[in-house]
Structure 1
């Protein structure tokens, strides 16, 4: 099987789409499956590989981690014909994704896609709700040609069904339980960040409006004084709101910028709670990473996050935007060490069932089904 993946974001970009695709292509390499990525050039340093074809690009104004590429179409067609894939997978609904659809039709190559980002949900956080109808019309039009559209969670599948999408199939997400685990040196993390307070609460993600970090700040400000005085917050990530958030944050909130690999895993492991107010996730990779690290999660009862957290077992789900509910949940768990420990144990146990290899094996089986059906139609 030879797979061409068209995406407007890829490693070294730091977001869920890029990380998932990098994990997938690593798996393909391990399985000796041939693939080629068509993706934008980025401003950060990127390794040179025969597996990647890069295009000039500019950042997308709502979501700078996704870039608008400007491909040379003749060059792209030549590259694709030379590669001769058995299947094209389109991962994003921008310029490169459009190229993938166009050439799948033109060259008669089986086409599938994946849906990663709730752009419609983002609109309310950028005062662009008036574009909602247009966005959904475009998304329906864009995804209609796909023989299968892979979505990361049951919640996202149901949302797209309500908007008339078809050929939907769940492509879940796994977690590296060898990297993310509860057994790192917690004292080392505390020493690295000068943490002297009893409890460590962590957020990981982009510092942008759609993550609803105003609710996180409001929660931190309204926690009871006797609880707040024992808490150190670590805010891990970067983005357009960082400067404003730092100016509004309480004294016990430290901003680290992006962390990755073992540096990130160590912080998850050392944390007593992971707090994630974002209501816009199609999945919520960071939530699963926290659970794998034995850290209970207090998250928004919305999007894919509600499919990961088992209420009262691995964490708590709160009404999106309701800082008081988040504060109450945090207070309850901070006061109850045994419950928090049990939730961490249950979270780790759940994460151990979420194997990337199993998830990717199922995706390749779905690819094979699409290719076989197309070939049967050709020669019928």
Structure 2
């Protein structure tokens, strides 16, 4: 094919202004593709305050996680959208009812469908007391993605795991980071002072959903223990989720829930912190880890897939064996400023090599490849 503009339809249950790694990645992808001259249309749930229009579908909250809304549409409705828009390729980014309807619609219209795997929903089930659903979720996810032409994944560990589970035609589509927005220069001493932190005080930071699958208990437990033993620090939790009400009651113990943060407000929190703490073991990538590295922060995390591709132990931070106690290494990094500076500088250097432009080159090439295979003679 010649390098002509493509008519791309993106189907997703989450999109900006929602704040999560999937929404941010997809929002950036749409901006980049449009800047390259491609026509991009969206099929997604209608958000609060939006008027009905083609591509915006009714939505219902997920029964066990009401902050997450899933779109509702029939394949017939989506077929009409794809036909009216003249869509040449469909990218389905989420596997819920909306994604399934889009997959059926694309197959009926013989439009190539690329899927992307962003979230380990099969692993999430156990965190919500739904362990029996985990196996069924894996079967469904495999069937869903294998019905598409190509599945894009964010990390090598995710690619290896899915291939071992029988997923076919899997390719890595990595992520980038905005190293101008996320930069150590945005450190805000006034912000630190507002928390009562003196020269010896430490600001420990977590950014992400406040939800069971993020495995926050080891971090919270270790911090409370160290603080009772004299550690001068505050732990700031940025984000929202079902666990926020419980964590909000711990403010007198130095644990502060500040909700969602956007743009430069988020960048200032990163740059003003001393250590980034990330205990999740359910990541396919972990965009926030890369944002923290770009902000010059050392990382303390579990040695789990997704995260351990971004953090080399004793280079960008410290990786703990899954399930181990956080207190010893949390205390070490809180006390040792030289080690923090060493890890933070290495993380910043790594982040500078992670280009969004390369990420979107890979995405654009995947679309062209699938369009080319559809147009190739038998």
- TM-score by length of structure 2 reads 0.93
Q: Does the alignment pair 1:198 with 2:201?
A: yes
> Is the contact made by 1:24 and 1:360 (CA closer than 8 Å) also made in structure 2?
yes
Residues 119-145 of structure 1: CA distance to partner in whole angstroms, max 9, x if unpaired?
111112111111222111111111111
> Is the contact made by 2:297 and 2:343 (CA closer than 8 Å) also made in structure 1?
yes
Q: Matched residues in 2 for 1:6 and 1:156: separation? A: 21
Q: Which residue of 1 aligns with 2:222?
A: 219
Seen in structure 2, the aligned counterparts of structure 1 residues 313 and 298 have a Cα distance that, compared at 3 Å, is: same
The secondary structure found in structure 2 opposite 1:281 is coil
Seen in structure 2, the aligned counterparts of structure 1 residues 167 and 65 have a Cα distance that, compared at 3 Å, is: farther
Q: What is the aligned counterpart of 2:166 among 164, 177, 182? A: 164
- CA drift of 1:81 comes to 0.4
Q: Which residue of 2 aligns with 1:236?
A: 238
Q: Matched residues in 2 for 1:361 and 1:204: separation? A: 28
- CA drift of 1:289 comes to 0.3
Q: Matched residues in 2 for 1:163 and 1:61: separation? A: 27
Q: What is the aligned counterpart of 2:19 among 14, 20, 26? A: 14
Seen in structure 2, the aligned counterparts of structure 1 residues 54 and 195 have a Cα distance that, compared at 3 Å, is: farther
Q: Matched residues in 1 for 2:133 and 2:57: separation? A: 28
- CA drift of 1:303 comes to 2.6
Comparing 175-184 with 361-370, greater Cα deviation is found at: 361-370
> Is the contact made by 1:15 and 1:65 (CA closer than 8 Å) also made in structure 2?
no
Q: Which residue of 2 aligns with 1:375?
A: 375
Q: Matched residues in 2 for 1:357 and 1:145: separation? A: 29
- Is there any run of 5+ residues in structure 1 with no aligned partner, and where? none
Q: Does the alignment pair 1:30 with 2:30?
A: no
Q: Matched residues in 1 for 2:240 and 2:153: separation? A: 26
Residues 140-190 of structure 1: CA distance to partner in whole angstroms, max 9, x if unpaired?
111111211001111111111221111010111110001000011421321
Q: How many residues align?
A: 372
> Is the contact made by 1:8 and 1:95 (CA closer than 8 Å) also made in structure 2?
no
- Is there any run of 5+ residues in structure 2 with no aligned partner, and where? 1-5
Q: Which residue of 2 aligns with 1:210?
A: 213
> Is the contact made by 2:333 and 2:340 (CA closer than 8 Å) also made in structure 1?
yes
Q: Matched residues in 2 for 1:342 and 1:367: separation? A: 40
Q: Matched residues in 2 for 1:155 and 1:49: separation? A: 40
Q: Does the alignment pair 1:183 with 2:185?
A: yes
> Is the contact made by 2:227 and 2:233 (CA closer than 8 Å) also made in structure 1?
no
> Is the contact made by 2:44 and 2:56 (CA closer than 8 Å) also made in structure 1?
yes
- TM-score by length of structure 1 reads 0.93
Q: Which residue of 2 aligns with 1:354?
A: 354
Q: Matched residues in 2 for 1:61 and 1:274: separation? A: 31
**RMSD value over aligned CA atoms?**
1.9
Residues 85-144 of structure 1: CA distance to partner in whole angstroms, max 9, x if unpaired?
221111111111112211111111111100000011111211111122211111111111
Q: Does the alignment pair 1:130 with 2:132?
A: yes
> Is the contact made by 1:9 and 1:65 (CA closer than 8 Å) also made in structure 2?
no
